[in-house]
Homo-oligomer: A and B are copies of this chain.
Amino acid sequence: MRKVAIIGTGMTKVDKHWRKSLKELFGEAGIAALNQTGSPAIDCLIVGNMCASDLSDQNNIGALLADYLGFVPNTAYRVEAACGSGGAAFLAAYSAVASGMYDVVMTGGVEKLTDGVGGNTTLSLGKAADAEYELFYGSSFVSLNAMIMRYYMDHYGVPREAFADFAVLMHRNGSRNPFAQLPFEIKRETVLNSDMISDPITLFDCAPVGDGAAALILCPLEDAKKYSDDFVEVAGISGATDTINIASRESLLSFRSTVTAADRAYRMAHISPADIDVAEIHDTFTITGVLSLEDLGFCERGKFHKMMMNGAFEPGGVVAVNPSGGLKSRGHPVGATGAYQIAELFLQLTGRAGKMQVPDASIGLAQNIGGSGSSTYVTVLRRV
C-alpha cells in the first residue's frame, strides 16, 4: 500500500452564500487548492455531499464539478455518508491513491443548505436517521440528540451549564478563524438564554446551518515534493459504523463508531490519544462534542467540564480541540465538514493557521460523524 500525502487545500468561508451555486462554491475551494500545488493534472475527483438532490435538484455532482473544474474526461464521483460524507470521500480518495490506481486525486466536500431551489433543510438533514423507524415517527436530527444529551446529564449528574461552556470555548476559538460562519465570542448566558430547539438543546448548543466547500489534493507521499514544499502524511485512517437508529444501541453514552474508528486509526498510525497535538472533532451539538472527547480517549467519561475549565482542550493542555471553532462556530456545511476538518489540520501542521495556530503541532486528528453516530471517519495526519 502506497503512503499518501496531502499537498494542498482550499476552503470557502462558511456562510449563507445565496449568490453562489454548488459549482461556484466547490470551484472556489478547488482552485485555491490547485493554486497551492502548481495545478497538477487531477486524475480523479471524489466529492462528499449530502443534500444537493433535495435542496439544489442536483445529483451526479462528481461529473458536475469535474466539468466545472476542467478535469473531464477523468474519473469523478460523489460519496455520501450523511454528515460524514466529507470524511468518507476522503477515505475513498485515500484508497484511490494508496492502491496505485490514481496518482493525483482531489477530494473534499460541498454543501448548500441555504437558499436552495427546493426541499426543506430540516427534513433533508433528518434523512441521515432511519427513515422507517425514526423519521417516520417525527424524530428530527436535533430531537434524537436531545434525548442523548438528557440521558448523559442524568447519568453523570452533569449540569446543563457545562455544555454551555463547551460552546463558549468553541466560539472563542472560532473568533480567530477567517473562514468561520459565526466568528464571535459568546457567554455562557448566550447559550442558556437562547431559544429552546429540543429540550435540553438550545440554539447555541447547535452548529449553524450554512453553505461551504473545502477541497484537498492527495498524492503518493514519495511524489509530494514535486508539487509542494508543504505537505503532510496521512498516518492513520478508518471508517466505522453503528446501528442507524439509536434505539437499537446498547448505550447512548458513547458512539461505538467513533470508538472503533479511532482505535483502528490509532493502531494504523502507531500512536495513542496522548500523542495528538490538535484535533478537529465533530460537535454538531455540544453533546456530540462532549461524547467525541470521551470516545476519542481525550478525557474520562462524565469528567469533561473540570478538565475543560482547566484548559485541557486548549494549546498547552492535553490536546488543542477545534482551534477552528469546530462545527459550532466555524460552521457545519454537512457534506463538506469532514473536508474542512482535514483542511484545517493541514494548515495547523504546515504552520499556516495564523491566529489559530497551535504551537509545534505535529500530529493532528479529524473525527467526522454521519447521522447520530451511525458512522464515523477518523483521520490522523502527521507533519513530515
Contact = CB atoms under 8 A, between A and B. Distances in A.
A274 B158 CA distance: 71
Contact of A242 (B63, B84, B124, B239): B63
Taking residues whose C-beta sits less than 8 angstroms from the other chain, chain A's interface range is 35 or more
Contacts of A50: 59
A374 B60 contact: yes
Nearest to A80: B78
Nearest to A135: B57
Interface in A83-134: 84-85, 88, 91-92, 94-96, 98-101, 117, 123-124, 126-132
A76 to B, nearest CB: 5
A215 interface: no
A23 B371 CA distance: 17
A81 interface: yes
A206 interface: no
Interface stretch (A65-73, A182-190, A299-307): A65-73
A53 interface: yes
Contacts of A85: 77
A72 B243 CA distance: 7
B1 A63 contact: no
A321 interface: no
A115 B195 CA distance: 39
A5 to B, nearest CB: 15
Contact of A132 (B21, B54, B66, B132): B21
10 interchain residue pairs of minimum CB distance: A99-B99, A75-B239, A63-B374, A60-B82, A77-B88, A58-B131, A1-B100, A98-B99, A59-B127, A73-B260
